[in-house]
């Protein structure tokens, strides 16, 4: 009986701890400490002014890189963060966008964001991608050798937009529009003998109706 009681207590402890964490109030932004705060204190600089609702924090940087499938990649990226209400009661909203081009004529444009209304009553989220890119594809089965990989180019579009309403605590209910499309899939080398026509390949081709 005593051993059973100990087991019950051990099983209940995580649940009690979780409830305590959920009921505890969030830490106000002015009481949080990040790396920039540590560097500012080390340099003996005064603390930054309090964060105000609606004030946008923006950072931008160039994008430079390379990989075998895309070649040399260059472009720009930016991120923005802000509060749509009192920072003490409203979660931070943010968005990020990037545009890159490559020496192999690949274009990638991404826009993602999530936004909380004042008091966190509404939550809006978006993930949008417009890409002309490439990827290696393989045959079905786990025995397909890496030498059989086929370099393909394709157009990819993603439009994901959702909106949710808070109903209780951190529980949100909502809906949205989710769209994904892979189109114009074709071999990087048009005469590649390893690219026989397949139902997906034919349906994704803009000339499928005339062939």
User: How far, in Å, are 102, 177, 197, 208 from residue 135 at the CA level?
Assistant: 14, 26, 17, 21
**What is the per-residue pLDDT across 46-97, written as a single tens digit (0 to 9) for each?**
776 666 676 788 899 999 998 877 889 999 999 999 999 888 899 999 999 9
Beta bridge partners of 131: 108, 156
The verdict on pTM exceeding 0.85 is no
Of residues 55 and 191, which shows the higher confidence score?
55
Residue among 92, 162, 94 nearest 124 (CA): 162
- In the DSSP assignment, the letter for residue 209 is G
Cβ atoms of residues 58 and 82 within 8 Å: no
**What is the per-residue pLDDT across 3-37, written as a single tens digit (0 to 9) for each?**
444 444 344 444 434 444 444 445 555 556 666 67
**Which bin fits 103, alpha (ψ -120 to 50), beta or left (φ > 0)?**
alpha
Cβ atoms of residues 125 and 114 within 8 Å: yes
**What is the per-residue pLDDT across 158-168, written as a single tens digit (0 to 9) for each?**
999 999 999 99
CA 113 to chain centre: 8
């Amino acid at each position: 009986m005593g051993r059973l009681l100990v087991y019950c207590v051990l099983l209940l402890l995580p649940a009690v701890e979780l409830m305590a964490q959920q009921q505890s109030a969030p830490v106000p932004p002015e009481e949080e400490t990040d790396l920039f705060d540590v560097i500012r204190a080390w340099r003996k600089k005064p603390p930054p002014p309090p964060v105000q609702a609606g004030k946008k924090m923006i950072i931008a940087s160039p994008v430079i890189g390379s990989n075998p499938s895309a070649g040399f990649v260059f472009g720009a990226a930016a991120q923005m963060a802000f509060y749509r209400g009192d920072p003490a009661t409203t979660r931070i909203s943010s968005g990020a966008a990037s545009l890159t081009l490559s020496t192999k004529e690949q274009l990638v444009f991404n826009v993602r964001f999530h936004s909380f209304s004042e008091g966190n009553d509404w939550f809006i989220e978006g993930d949008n991608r417009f890409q002309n890119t490439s990827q290696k594809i393989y045959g079905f089965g786990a025995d397909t050798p890496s030498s059989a990989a086929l370099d393909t180019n394709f157009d990819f579009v993603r439009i994901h937009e959702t909106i949710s309403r808070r109903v209780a605590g951190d529980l949100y209910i909502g809906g949205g529009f989710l769209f994904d499309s892979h189109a114009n899939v074709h071999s990087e080398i048009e005469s590649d003998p390893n690219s026989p026509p397949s139902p997906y390949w034919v349906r994704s081709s803009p000339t499928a109706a005339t062939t």
